[in-house]
Amino acid sequence: MGDALTILHTESSMNMGGQELRILMEMEGLKGRGYNSVLAARPGSRILGEAVGRGLKAYPVGMRGSIDPAAVSAFARIISREKADIVNAHGSKDGWSAGIAARLLGKKVVRSRHIANPIRGSFFGRLVYGPLCDRIMTTSESIKRGIAEKGVAEGKILSIPTGVDTSRFHPGVDGSSFRAELGIKGSSPLVGMVSVMRGDKGPDVFFKSAEAVLGRMPEAYFVLVGDGWMKGRLEDMASASPYRERIRLTGYRRDIPSVLAALDLMVLPALVPEGIPQAVLQAHAMKVPVVASDVGGINEVAINGSTAVCVPPGDEAALADAIVMLLKDTEMAATLSSAGYGLVMERYTLPGMLDRVDAFYRDVVRG
């Protein structure tokens, strides 16, 4: 362990999903490795409240736009007050304002990229991923390739996928309480999606596939776990569905290990490439079989025919067929889930992630 470093994480998102959870995991995980971690996020954001609830140091910062003079000034005050060595900007609005503040004070800047949406190839896009940051951290090789294709030097980018806390996510977790809460008795199959409920994640695709499966396997149950802007629309779909007693929405939950332990199958029907999804890795760590979309980031760990069954994104019929196949072929499901478990233990544990992040930050400081 080297000298203590102070990292200021900035985030402009108001939601709570994999990106925000990754920030909190880093802050908590590096605390015992000689780091002081601080968060600056928008007032009223989910991550700000969560950080405070976990006893982490956090500041509210209003961000009205990509380049907000008031936000630049606020970030500069926090950087000076906390004597930050590195500013790690995770969002779009904060990436500009925090990056400018850090540059004005001569501090190192890391730009984290958690999503696979193409970065802008314009002057401004080249600026925020060029002179405005020292290094770039992505959560998948797919995202790294996308940034490099826009002209950013590949040597500037490092992919460090989010690791799994195997002390929480493991095959021994009991899921009976979650099944009881849903009123599921006996061995009825339970298929779940655990995700932020927004369009790119494909929760509506999951819902329509669930209806198709229930037409063939009426004894099954389906559950969507998570919150987001699509939740209201999904609730309307459920109210109008003839299978509304079999398709449940729970909203945001903290007991995800118990949720996953209750499932016979975990599904992630994302429509676009993304970072390596924590939900897939967590399911693997608990030996829960996985069906997922065959898109970048996801297919780095949901490997078709090896650790999961993958289908084309947005193909409701193919997704329904894959779900039925794995629910019926328990031997195949067990083989895939065992391979997924092995992959996590070999390459995607939380301590392994923290080792790589630690080395990355120290390299940035030496830089």
Both tokens assigned to 124: 């401004």
Mean pLDDT of 244-270: 97
Domain boundaries along the sequence of the chain: 5-163+349-366, 176-347
Mean pLDDT score of the chain, rounded to an integer?
94
Give me the torsion for CA of 96, 97, 100, 104, rounded to 10°. -170
Residue 238: in which H helix or E strand, if any? helix 231-240
Q: Where residue 360 falls among pLDDT bands split at 50, 70, 90?
A: very high
Residue 130: the pLDDT is 84
Mean pLDDT of 258-267: 98
CB 279 within 8 A of CB 194: yes
- The region of weakest confidence among 15-24, 187-196, 239-248 is 15-24
CB 283 within 8 A of CB 266: yes
Question: What phi and psi, each to the nearest 5 degrees, are found at residue 91?
Answer: -115, 180
- Which CATH entry fits the domain spanning 5-163+349-366: 3.40.710.10, 3.40.50.2000, 1.20.58.110, 3.20.20.70? 3.40.50.2000
Residue 125: the pLDDT is 63
Residue 276: CB atoms within 10 Å: 27
Residue 219: the pLDDT is 97
Residue 118: CB atoms within 10 Å: 12
Whose tokens are 């399911």? That residue is 283
> Helices 350-366 and 18-29: crossing angle, nearest 10°?
80
Helix runs in 263-347, H state only: 278-285, 316-328, 330-347
Mean pLDDT of 102-119: 90
Question: What phi and psi, each to the nearest 5 degrees, are found at residue 232?
Answer: -60, -45
* The pLDDT of residue 239 is above 70: yes
* The pLDDT of residue 121 is above 80: no
CA 112 – CA 71 distance, rounded (Å): 19
Both tokens assigned to 27: 């802050």
137: helix, coil or strand?
A: strand
57-103 pLDDT per residue, tens: 999 999 987 788 999 999 999 999 999 999 999 988 898 899 999 99
Q: Judge if 5-163+349-366 and 176-347 fold alike in CATH terms.
A: yes
Mean pLDDT of 13-21: 90
Number of Cα atoms under 13 Å in the Cβ half of residue 109 = 28
More confident residue, 130 or 207: 207
Residue 122: the pLDDT is 61
* The pLDDT of residue 253 is above 90: yes
Residue 193: which residues within 8 A CB-CB, separation 6 or more?
201, 203, 206, 222, 223, 224, 225, 226, 266, 267, 268, 269
24-48 pLDDT per residue, tens: 999 999 998 989 999 999 999 999 9
DSSP states of 29-49 as a string? HTGGGTEEEEEEE-TT-HHHH
What separation in angstroms does the CA of 205 have from each of 117, 259, 274, 294?
20, 21, 17, 14
288-341 pLDDT per residue, tens: 999 999 999 999 999 999 999 999 999 999 999 999 999 999 999 999 999 999
Mean pLDDT of 213-222: 98
Q: Cα–chain-centroid distance for residue 232? A: 21
Residue 46: the pLDDT is 94
CATH topology of domain 176-347: Rossmann fold (3.40.50)
Residue 5: the pLDDT is 96
Residue 143: in which H helix or E strand, if any? helix 141-148
* The pLDDT of residue 279 is above 70: yes
16: helix, coil or strand?
A: coil
CA 217 – CA 185 distance, rounded (Å): 16
Q: What is the CA radius of gyration of the chain?
A: 21
Residue 73: in which H helix or E strand, if any? helix 69-82
On whether the pTM is more than 0.85, the answer is yes
Residue 123: the pLDDT is 62
* The pLDDT of residue 1 is above 50: no
Report the largest interatomic distance among the alpha carbons of the chain, rounded to a whole angstrom.
63
* The pLDDT of residue 2 is above 60: no
DSSP E strand stretches across 199-355: 221-225, 247-251, 265-268, 290-293, 309-311
Residue 20: the pLDDT is 94
